[in-house]
Amino acid sequence: MGGIFHAAILFLVAAGLQVIFGVQKIFNLACGSFYALGAYVGISAVQAFIGAGGPPGLFLLPLALAGLLVGLVGVVVERGLLRFVYDRDETFQLLLTFALVLMLEDAIRMTWGTAPQSTAGLYLVYGQVRLLGATVPTYNLVVIGASLAIAAGIGWFLTRTAFGRIVRATAENREMAEALGVNMASVYARVFTLGTALGTLGGALVIPATAAMSEMGIELIVEAFAVVVIGGLGSMRGAFVGALVVGVLRAVAISVYPELEMLLIYLIVIGVLVLRPRGIFGEVAV
Amino acid sequence: MSTSRRDFLKGAGAAVAAGTGLGVPALGRAQGRPGVPAEPLKIGVLAIRAGIAAPVGTAGLRGTEWWAERVNRAGGILGRPVQLVVEEESNPKDTVERYRKLILQDKVEVVLGGISTGVTLALGPVAEDMGTPWLSWDGTTQKGVEETMPSTKWAFRSVDNEVEAIVAAMLTAKYFKGIKTVAGIGNDYSYGHDCWESYQAVLRRHMPDVKFVLGLFPKLGATDFTSHIASIQQSRADLLMCSFWSGDATIIMKQAAAVGLFKTMKGVFTTAGGVHDSLKKDFTPEGLLLGYNSMYFDDPKGSPLLKQFVREYKAKYNEYPPYECDHAYFCAESYKAGLEKAYAAAGQWPSKTQVVKALEGLEVESLSGKRSWREDHIQMCNFYQGITTHKNAYDFVTIDPLEIVSTKQAMKPSGTRLFDWISSWKT
């Protein structure tokens, strides 16, 4: 179950990475930093909520709200920075998003300091349940449920709403969509904000179970890359399956042969690259 | 990009140095002692303020700044005000460059600091070349020292870091007599592996029948240990030994509490006391063995100096000080005492060589009582470990009973090899 909890969080970050790449063709190295930002803002929101006398049992409300709202930083980044490099070489886009990683890390350090931040005992507020012979924190199940609901919501949004169809059309053929009158600036701003919000929400939701550290995004982004390679670059289904593969494989490796924890994941990555370079659900050649 | 980042950090360092030096001009006149230069005494400081070791690096810097303010209020060293020149400790290559810069460009007379094992082992040979005393706060493990700093003239090394695990193993044998199986978890780098090896070696001497059933080494900086905890549960070990020392200690404690890990097994956290005020009672149970390294902020028999430091640290930073403050304070205070001793012998401002000789075997009052430099340039001090309790006025755990073990008992004597020394014990 620990592996599935990890997969649920990983899915949110990888989904953010996928939606941005799928539409804007930008490989957002800063997705891990947005995840860290969501974690810190989530902690501050929860601390303010509890400090103001809010009942601990309702901590999920300020947490999720903060995670979603801080996703709006995506608008600022997209309109303020990224739109200037859309027509440049991919190298510039990578450099810019890498610069964001460093700047956000320093911004976090300047705002929240260097000491790890924690939400004290909120992780245990919902208690534990027995599941398949193991004790599982109820909060883990809440996050897994939320992640599944978000996955279903994204599927519904992309296939059933008008804007979802525009997003898919843009991902398929930008020039054609533009010729049909789609406002590309608006689509890009909204898609980037959605991708950012998925990452920041992931950071906020993970924080009761862990502690926020300024470099926490770096750890996750490596796994998120493995997810997109396995699942297929640009594919939401790929993000879902890839996150599940990485999360569960990692847990199994730690239980069976701990030395293989990361090696096993990268063996799968290499295998996918050799046998199916597009990934399991990828539609774009990698 | 890396340049701008480094510039930012250097800027931050300069700001701290300037802040510390603000009081210097007012105090910057020597008291007219013969042979003492009038200008401020420049002291270089290397401190990690970024990344996973930032909490301990920041604490060390704060301890040094507190010392410098006290010294300057009292008129300086031999009437000479001190001025800190702070540089960032980061990777070995860059830190070595900054170390050289402190000596060659800033003209500091001593360098204090250094926490990361990788950095301190790289600095050791450089210190010998530069001919300026360097007093390390922390970060020297057995294997690395044997390879890069077997004997030194200018470098003064920290306590062997494995001592935390050695003391923990001694106390495991005392407090958890019934255990049969032990699982271990530590970070996947030299410190984590060395602690686990040392812990096993010492516990085998005291409890030969104990079996070590699992050793896990997640990478440094990891924030999810749920799968590791599941593996520890599956091992059905009687006891978990953990050498985490930063935010990861808090995380594993929280994730362990969420699945009731310590309801079925004992726990030993060799140095998680470094982040003691994040170990909240909500998720940190009573009955664990917890190590605080070289200073325990709540020592009921602590000196007035410790109590004053804890009070002022809490008032200024709204935190309770971790052990690294004591290592840093000791390095600075011993340098002051070494200077004064060498001056008394020479009758003039001493040379660096004279200061180094004066430091050997020197004992001073530190935040955790008397501490000294062994003749082979290694810090000597006491280690504080004990059983976690909720019976205190804080929202985090403290320890009671408190056990104090000296480095004379738990650190290998000069000239011996660690595991040969442990093997020679009569238990």
Q: Is B212 on the interface with A (CB under 8 A)?
A: no
pLDDT band with cut points at 50, 70 and 90 for residue A119: confident
Which residues of chain B neighbour A212 with C-beta distances below 8 Å?
Answer: 247
- Tell me, yes or no, if A261 comes closer than 8 A to chain B by beta carbon: yes
At A14-42, the pLDDT tens digits run: 999 888 888 888 888 899 999 999 999 99
pLDDT, tens digit (0-9, with 9 covering 90-100), for B300-334: 999 999 999 999 999 999 999 999 999 999 999 99
pLDDT computed for residue A222 by the predictor = 84
Q: CB-based contact (8 Å) between B223 and chain A?
A: yes
What is this model's ipTM? 0.82
Helix (H) or strand (E) holding A200: helix A184-206
Tens-place pLDDT, residues B217-263: 998 888 889 889 989 998 999 999 999 988 899 999 999 999 999 99
Percent of chain B with pLDDT over 70: 90
**Alpha-carbon radius of gyration of chain A:** 19
> Averaged over B96-121, what is the pLDDT?
93
Q: Which of B366, B306, B311 is nearest to B335 (CA)?
A: B366
Higher confidence at residue B85 or residue B5?
Answer: B85
When scoring A97, A103, A106, A118 by the number of chain B Cβ atoms within 10 A, the one with the most, hence best to mutate, is A118
Nearest to A3 among B4, B227, B248 (CB): B227
The per-residue pLDDT of chain B, averaged, comes to: 89
B255 touches chain A (CB under 8 A): yes
A116 neighbourhood in chain B, CB within 8 Å: 55, 246-247, 250, 275, 278
Contact at CB, B216 and A258, closer than 8 angstroms: yes
By C-alpha distance, the chain B residue nearest A6 is B224
pLDDT tens column, B341-390:
999 999 999 999 999 999 999 999 999 999 999 998 999 999 999 999 99
Query: Across the interface, do A210 and B254 touch by the CB < 8 Å criterion?
Result: yes
Could you tell me the pTM of the whole model?
A: 0.85
Decide if B157 contacts B145 (C-beta within 8 A): yes
Going by their DSSP bridges, the two strands B266-269 and A134-137 should be labelled as unpaired
pLDDT over threshold 90, residue A199: yes
Q: What is the pLDDT of residue B8?
A: 41
